[in-house]
Structure 1
Amino acid sequence: MRYLPLNDADRAAMLESVGAGSIEDLFVDVPAEARLAGPVPGLPMHASEMAVERHMARLSGESLTAGEAPFFLGAGAYRHHVPASVDHLIQRGEFLTAYTPYQPEIAQGTLQVLFEFQTQVARLFGTDVANASLYDGSTACWEAITMAGRVTKRKKAVLSGGVHPHYVETARTMAKFTGDTLVTRQPELVAASDDDAVIADIDGETACVVVQYPDVLGRIPDVARIAQAAQAKGALLIVVVTEPVALGLLESPGALGADIVVGEGQSLGVGLQFGGPYLGLFGCREKYVRQMPGRLCGETLDADGKRGFVLTLSTREQHIRREKATSNICTNSGLCALAFSIHMTLLGGKGLEKMAKLSRIRAAQTAQALAKVPGVKIVNDSYFNEFAVVLPKDARTVVRALADKGVLGGVSLGRLYPGAEALSGGLLVTATECTTADDIAALVSALEEVLA
């Protein structure tokens, strides 16, 4: 029996309260072509469990996964080797939970893990503090923009063209409801990042400047210069890091002057996982800690003088009055944070540096090999493990042709920037420590055939 506690009068009263004439009015922001008038076409109304399992197994067999083919995809999600011990440890009963506990003091192990995680992220980012994680990198980026607005009392954000377009779209979606002004641009297929243009857009109304490091084309912006220009106008600098392994070689954003550093932690411990769940990282200067979204785990002493862990700050709407909350989308990815922390612990500082060096070497070898392919032009002068190339054909058709040959050859800029004709020949190529000489040879051979 279905439980339907509301009658027609209740629904009418609720619609009147929110100013909607009908239930359909609540869905006006969903494009008409994305709505269904009935059941999903082509799906049977019911099937047995065994039939569904067989059908799903057949569908999964059609996929070409990262471990089965030469893999050069990146653009915010990266394939790195995750030790088997990570998966083993996160499944232990004392750890296996997706959340920071709601009665935290009885879950000292989880709180200690998150305290250690915060310490690792703060050291990696070069910030004074870090929180216990957020949903993912894109929402962490938006949270940083709104945090900067609270700090500066301003409503304008300047975003570099090098910021990942999905992060920009997330910010645009949220800004529609907050009244924030976003100054954005598309990247250009040139070796230099758009530092000069970003600095030119900063004025006395700017709350923050957002740059990605390395940026979406793999270039390395001059973070220190942009920080100085932003702070001279009273704005905060937000640095986005989609590939945290890069910080094994690059100087930390905090050391370069960033006020807030956010990013995606997927590269460490989490794996690709067909797009999620992922892990939002967030760090900032200590003086801004009370404006930081999410949860902050702290260390203290109990009544007997023994070390213990507590939730020091928890500024989300479920813990305090909603109008006082800094965010209502800041649930942390607890299990992914644990995986990140275990992987970081296994690596240590030297291990992370070695992992970063291997990724950089593999990327350089890939770029050198691709530069010899007729018609291929390498865009970048500098990069970590990801770089852009220009192809003589539309990169989307090239990517599909490479996939037909069993090579996942990169991410086309036409996919990331639909409708941007100037970027249609652009291809993002990524290599990591998982990339082999055979993988590079397979990419070059397949690309030569496709471009011939």
Structure 2
Amino acid sequence: MRYLPLTDTDRSAMLATIGASSIDDLFVDVPEIARLDGPIHGLPLHASEMAVERHMAALASRNIAAGSVPFFIGCGAYKHHVPASVDHIIQRGEFLTAYTPYQPEIAQGTLQVMFEFQTQVARLLGTDVANASMYDGSTACWEAIGMARRITRRGKAILSGGLHPHYVSVARTMAKYTGDVLDTGLPALDADTDIAALIAKIDGDTSCVVVQYPDILGRIADLTALADACHANKALLVAVVTEPVALGAIKSPGEMDADIVVGEGQSIGVGLQFGGPYVGLFGCKEKYVRQMPGRLCGETLDAEGKRGFVLTLSTREQHIRREKATSNICTSSVLCALAFSVHMTLLGEAGLRKLADLNHIGAAAAADRLAEVDGVEVVNDSFFNEFTLKLSKESRGVVRALADKQILAGVSLGRLYPGAADLANGLVVAVTETTTEEDVEALAEALEEALA
């Protein structure tokens, strides 16, 4: 592909066509605090390739690798062991370039991967159908809200205070352009979920109720009564799962009659990598399948009676007229979906349940040990592999102090909810199969010193 630079005249003509006075007008939705006021700080304007490599390596060395220290960070991205065979398989030549197949029936291997992925996700989420992946959990959550609007023809979504604030932020950004009204709130730093409060808010204008399971504080609620209340008011229940390993131990949202179940698949097959790429999960009841975003692969027989795969439903804008599309998602995290599917296949149902047991047993032991520390209170009375501590001091300072000691203690609620005084002392701690007893003891001892 040739590089075709634009002249000032070209740029002026393009801006005039779209009605913008300057290039800066294209960035008005980016908060000013997030915009650069000049060159990237810390980088020289000119340097040799070797000098740039040394400089970037020095910057990278300031990071603390997740596998090098006691690590308790979760809140939607988790450190699990990914077998080396997963990476080996996805780097095979036929998979490494996995992308959108524009002549899909030719790419039978890619379609089969998508089909197997969909089957695994549908079984995991407890839904009738699942699509061939989304960008990530947060965008899948928004797509579910948009889907509920199309189905119910209503424009108010009620979002649980226990929904991850980053997911809420994505929904707010998109709702600015669709006109959806979002009823949001903050979580309370106690063991009770907000299921009763959500039920009380449902009315004739509600398109859906969005609830996280387990929620941002790690609490687990029975969603059956909420689903019943939604359906009594002709609204939909959207359940969000940010830790899919949990579904190896607890009842799936689909089993509790959730209409749409979405989530983040990073925990299975996809390692921590600075926030992405990850893989969004999306499933729903069969009767709503034509309103589902993304793509759906199906199994069929060819003219010779041999098994084959096809794109059964593809209502995104790359495959349909834009005004008819259910979504503007224009790519797919197929390589990450493949990693998910490979890891899930290696585990099998029995392996997933065993992995879930290891996570919960480790988390329960860690919660018991940390509860012995003066100045620490375990908030949860139910959790999977993640729970919340209430500290005697603001958690942000404690997290920073422990990071200086090479212990990544968890996620402070003060960071997730800046300005929310009632949450400032909250610390969310995640424990997976990679966490050792020595890691937990190091955290407990460091907390004792920090809270003394």
Q: TM-score, normalised by structure 1?
A: 0.97
Q: Distance in 2 between matches of 1:349 and 1:95?
A: 24
Amino acid in the other structure paired with 1:313 = L
Superposed CA offset, 1:39-93 (max 9, x none): 2233211222212222222222221111101111100001111111000000011
Superposed CA offset, 1:89-109 (max 9, x none): 000111112423122111111
Residue of structure 1 equivalent to 2:255: 255
Superposed CA offset, 1:13-62 (max 9, x none): 54455443333222222223333343223321122221222222222222
Q: Distance in 2 between matches of 1:290 and 1:71?
A: 42
Cα RMSD of the aligned pairs, angstroms, is: 1.5
Residue of structure 1 equivalent to 2:99: 99
Amino acid in the other structure paired with 2:4 = Y
1:178-197 map, 5 Å = 178-197=178-197
Amino acid in the other structure paired with 2:106 = I
Amino acid in the other structure paired with 1:99 = Y
Q: Distance in 1 between matches of 2:295 and 2:434?
A: 34
Partner of 2:55, secondary structure, is: helix
1:341 aligns with 2:341: yes
Residue of structure 1 equivalent to 2:148: 148
Q: Mean alpha-carbon deviation: is it higher for 102-111 or for 249-258? A: 102-111
Amino acid in the other structure paired with 1:3 = L
Q: Distance in 2 between matches of 1:445 and 1:430?
A: 17
Amino acid in the other structure paired with 1:76 = G
1:143-292 map, 5 Å = 143-292=143-292
**Contact 2:156–2:207 (Cα < 8 Å) also in 1:** yes
1:393 aligns with 2:396: no
**Contact 1:135–1:330 (Cα < 8 Å) also in 2:** no
Distance 1:294 1:6, change over 3 A: farther
**Contact 2:121–2:130 (Cα < 8 Å) also in 1:** yes
Q: Distance in 2 between matches of 1:301 and 1:31?
A: 52
Residue of structure 2 equivalent to 1:64: 64
Amino acid in the other structure paired with 1:299 = E
Q: Distance in 2 between matches of 1:40 and 1:435?
A: 37
Superposed CA offset, 1:174-215 (max 9, x none): 000100000000001010100111111110010000000000
Residue of structure 2 equivalent to 1:369: 369
Tell me the percent identity. Answer: 72
Amino acid in the other structure paired with 2:374 = P
Amino acid in the other structure paired with 2:204 = G
The structural deviation recorded for 1:330 is: 5.2
Residue of structure 2 equivalent to 1:296: 296
Partner of 2:158, secondary structure, is: strand
Residue of structure 1 equivalent to 2:42: 42
Superposed CA offset, 1:220-240 (max 9, x none): 122111100011000000000
Distance 1:226 1:330, change over 3 A: farther
Following superposition, which runs of at least 4 residues in structure 1 exceed 6 angstroms of deviation? none
Residue of structure 1 equivalent to 2:4: 3
Q: Unpaired segments of 5 or more residues in structure 2? A: none
Partner of 1:263, secondary structure, is: strand
Partner of 2:93, secondary structure, is: coil
Q: Mean alpha-carbon deviation: is it higher for 422-431 or for 310-319? A: 310-319
Partner of 1:94, secondary structure, is: helix
**Contact 1:100–1:332 (Cα < 8 Å) also in 2:** yes
The structural deviation recorded for 1:265 is: 0.1
Distance 1:434 1:41, change over 3 A: closer
Partner of 2:211, secondary structure, is: strand
Residue of structure 2 equivalent to 1:29: 29
**Contact 2:317–2:330 (Cα < 8 Å) also in 1:** no
Q: Distance in 2 between matches of 1:215 and 1:176?
A: 25
**Contact 2:98–2:110 (Cα < 8 Å) also in 1:** no
1:421 aligns with 2:421: yes
Q: Distance in 2 between matches of 1:127 and 1:358?
A: 25
Q: TM-score, normalised by structure 2?
A: 0.97
The structural deviation recorded for 1:110 is: 1.1
Q: Distance in 2 between matches of 1:179 and 1:56?
A: 43
**Contact 1:97–1:334 (Cα < 8 Å) also in 2:** no
**Contact 1:155–1:207 (Cα < 8 Å) also in 2:** yes
